[in-house]
């Protein structure tokens, strides 16, 4: 047993216990799997929102980071220093968009292992069903034993794969329906996500290629080689993720335009690119511009105040001083 499996083993039994409890309430394998998927994935909505917001922040800072890379091509230490200064100033973490996804990956691994454990069998010439990770005294456990390991729901055996030998073409239609619907939903989700990415970023272009071409094909392969019960989980989880992402973008419509609450500061004191080799600026080229965060009214008031201060500092003209002395006489 691998170390990861050993660490996640308590979670296997937790998910197995929840699944057995749901099956006791709704004695249907398919409905129990669908309900369990919703119960487990919906609480991750705040993490998905956080991941989307973090990605939006990084997208908003891409022009500024690109300018830093161009300006400090020959000085990697200064480039790293300026980049970290931008991240610190804006409160952005490079891993902010990835960290919230890690718990979902763990749940995916646990869920997959539990569903595969339902169809586990003993070895030998005459294998018999031996479900894993669910309570041995549960109704789910005894029904799986009584059905000799078959998870029949709505006339479909969820323990069988799509590529398995079926009694007839009509019997294989539900399995292919799961593949077509699941693959279509996965493609729809990828299209919705990539359509919200900026098109003028080379990194995004590469990411979009992977998401649009590689990911749908990978999921189609999973649907072909995994039992129908696991495929049903993938299909339901895709529906949940589509709803979650749509909800996040509905609550924060500016994210898709890259105008979320974090935007690049105004760049000032930028030296021409041709002078890079001659001299590097000693100060940070990304000094904060106070007027960038001010409203038009505040900006107007600050300009008037600066003009008043300038008038006070301006020395009086010699003739005006002579006129003042004559009046005093």
Percent of the chain's residues with pLDDT above 90: 15
pLDDT digits (tens, 9 = 90+) for 60-94: 777 788 888 888 887 788 888 888 888 888 777 76
The pLDDT value recorded for residue 256 is 58
Query: Is the per-residue pLDDT at 111 higher than 50?
Result: yes
Q: Which residue has the higher pLDDT, 201 or 169?
A: 169
- In whole angstroms, give the CA distance from residue 18 to residue 168: 35
Residues 233-253: pLDDT tens digits?
A: 989 998 998 998 888 888 777
What DSSP state is assigned to residue 212? I
Q: With residue 152 as reference, give the H or E element that holds it.
A: strand 152-153
pLDDT digits (tens, 9 = 90+) for 277-319: 344 444 444 444 444 445 556 666 666 676 666 555 555 555 5
**What region does 249 belong to: left with phi over 0, alpha with psi -120 to 50, or beta?**
alpha
Which of 175, 41, 193 minimizes the C-alpha distance to 108?
41
Instruction: Pick the closest to residue 162 from 230, 97, 104 (CA basis).
Output: 230
pLDDT tens-digit profile of 186-243? Answer: 888 887 877 766 554 544 555 555 566 677 777 778 788 888 888 899 899 989 989 9
Domain boundaries, the chain: 3-257, 297-329
Give the model's pLDDT for residue 27: 93
pTM equals: 0.67
* Confidence check: pLDDT of 96 > 50: yes
Average pLDDT rounded to a whole number, residues 263-274: 37
């Amino acid at each position: 047993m691998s170390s990861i499996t050993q660490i996640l083993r308590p979670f296997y039994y937790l998910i197995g216990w929840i699944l057995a409890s749901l099956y006791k309430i709704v004695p249907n394998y398919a409905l129990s799997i669908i309900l369990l998927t919703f119960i487990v994935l919906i609480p991750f909505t705040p993490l998905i929102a956080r991941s989307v917001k973090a990605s939006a922040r990084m997208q908003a800072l891409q022009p500024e980071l690109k300018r830093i890379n161009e300006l400090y091509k020959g000085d990697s230490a200064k480039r790293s220093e300026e980049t970290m200064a931008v991240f610190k100033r804006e409160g952005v973490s490079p891993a902010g968009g990835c960290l919230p996804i890690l718990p979902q990956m763990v749940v995916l691994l646990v869920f997959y292992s539990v569903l595969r454990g339902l169809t586990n069998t003993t070895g030998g010439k005459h294998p018999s069903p031996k479900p894993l990770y669910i309570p041995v005294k549960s109704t789910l456990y005894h029904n799986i034993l009584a059905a000799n390991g078959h998870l029949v729901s709505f006339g479909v055996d969820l323990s069988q794969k799509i590529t398995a030998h079926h009694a007839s073409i009509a019997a294989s239609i539900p399995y292919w329906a799961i593949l077509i619907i699941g693959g279509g939903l996965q493609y729809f989700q990828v299209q919705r996500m990539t359509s919200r990415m900026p098109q003028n970023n080379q990194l995004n272009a590469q990411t979009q290629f992977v998401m649009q071409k590689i990911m749908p094909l990978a999921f189609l392969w999973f649907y072909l080689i995994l039992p129908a019960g696991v495929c049903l989980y993938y299909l339901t989880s895709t529906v949940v993720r589509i709803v979650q992402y749509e909800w996040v973008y509905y609550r924060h419509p500016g994210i898709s335009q890259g105008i979320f609450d974090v935007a690049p500061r105004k760049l000032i004191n930028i030296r021409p690119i041709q002078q890079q080799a001659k001299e590097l600026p000693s100060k940070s080229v990304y000094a904060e511009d106070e007027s960038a965060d001010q409203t038009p009214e505040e900006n107007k008031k600050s300009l008037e105040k600066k003009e008043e201060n300038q008038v006070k500092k301006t020395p009086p003209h010699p003739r005006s001083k002579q006129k003042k002395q004559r009046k005093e006489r």
